[in-house]
């Protein structure tokens, strides 16, 4: 069975972030959890939500408005700014996403992206930033893309 359109979106984002050189030491699907940061930098891709509008009464096609998040984290050096530590990862990730080609019209931007910043100041300061990408795509009744 073909992966769902939603999983394929995260695959495309992951491919952009892992292209040489990767934007972070670790690029994975999931969350960037400060306590689990085992490398200097991490970029984690996950789906946040998806709202559909049926294109036909029989439900065979749905336009989806999906929010994909790229959560990034970076450990700051002692007495350093966490935001400054994660900023290069943010810049690299956003540059890659903006350069990403839209394969066969499978998806398109559905609105304006968002960026959220956060700091985790425990034993080590970790700068955290999340890019939220609003993406529109069409899938059939099996959730596989219709327009690839």
Distance separating alpha carbons of residues 72 and 50, to the nearest angstrom: 21
Distance separating alpha carbons of residues 25 and 41, to the nearest angstrom: 5
103 and 148 in contact (C-beta within 8 Å)?
yes
pLDDT digits (tens, 9 = 90+) for 26-82: 999 988 777 777 889 999 999 999 999 888 777 688 889 999 999 999 999 888 889
pTM of the model: 0.87
Is the pLDDT reported for residue 86 higher than 60?
yes
Across the chain, mean pLDDT equals 87
The pLDDT of 96-103, averaged and rounded, is 77
Q: Could you give phi then psi for residue 76, rounded to 5 degrees? A: -90, 145
Cα separations in angstroms, 68 against 28, 58, 80, 117, 121: 13, 27, 30, 16, 26
Confidence of residue 104 (pLDDT cuts 50, 70, 90): very low
Give me the pLDDT at residue 137, please: 87
More confident residue, 103 or 111: 111
Percent with pLDDT over 70 in the chain: 93
CA 137 to chain centre: 15
Give me the pLDDT at residue 83, please: 93
């Amino acid at each position: 069975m073909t992966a769902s359109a939603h999983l394929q979106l995260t695959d495309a984002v992951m491919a952009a972030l892992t292209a040489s050189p990767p934007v972070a030491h670790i690029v994975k699907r999931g969350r960037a959890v400060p306590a689990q940061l085992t490398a200097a930098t991490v970029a984690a891709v996950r789906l946040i939500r998806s709202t559909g509008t049926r294109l036909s009464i029989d439900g065979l096609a749905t336009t989806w408005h999906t929010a994909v998040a790229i959560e990034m984290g970076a450990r700051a050096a002692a007495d350093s700014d966490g935001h400054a530590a994660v900023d290069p990862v943010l810049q690299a990730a956003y540059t890659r996403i903006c350069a990403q080609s839209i394969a066969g019209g499978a998806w398109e931007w559905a609105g304006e992206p968002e960026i959220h910043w956060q700091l985790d100041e425990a034993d080590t300061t970790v700068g955290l930033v999340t890019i939220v990408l609003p993406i529109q795509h069409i899938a059939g009744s099996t959730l596989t893309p219709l327009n690839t």
